Amino acid sequence: MKLIDTDILIDHFHGHRAALDFIAQQLVAGETLAIVAILIPYERGRS
């Protein structure tokens, strides 16, 4: 089993599409994935 943090994965692969391709490759290879997604709300006007 692999633990995947989506934020780190997206940074590592420089984009969402490449990160999704990696996840798909792992699933096709029969790997079990535990995916962690931390969602932080975005507020306009804040930096």
pTM score of the predicted model? 0.63
Q: Where are the domains of the chain?
A: 2-34
Residue-wise over 7-40: b if at least 16 C-beta within 10 A, else e?
A: eebbeeeeeeeebeeebeeeeeeeeeeeeeeeee
Residuewise pLDDT in 10s, the chain (47 residues): 888 887 788 888 888 888 889 989 999 999 998 888 777 676 666 55
Q: What is the per-residue DSSP string for 1-47? A: -EEEEHHHHHHHHTSHHHHHHHHHHHHHTT--EEEE-------TT--
* SS3 state at 2: strand
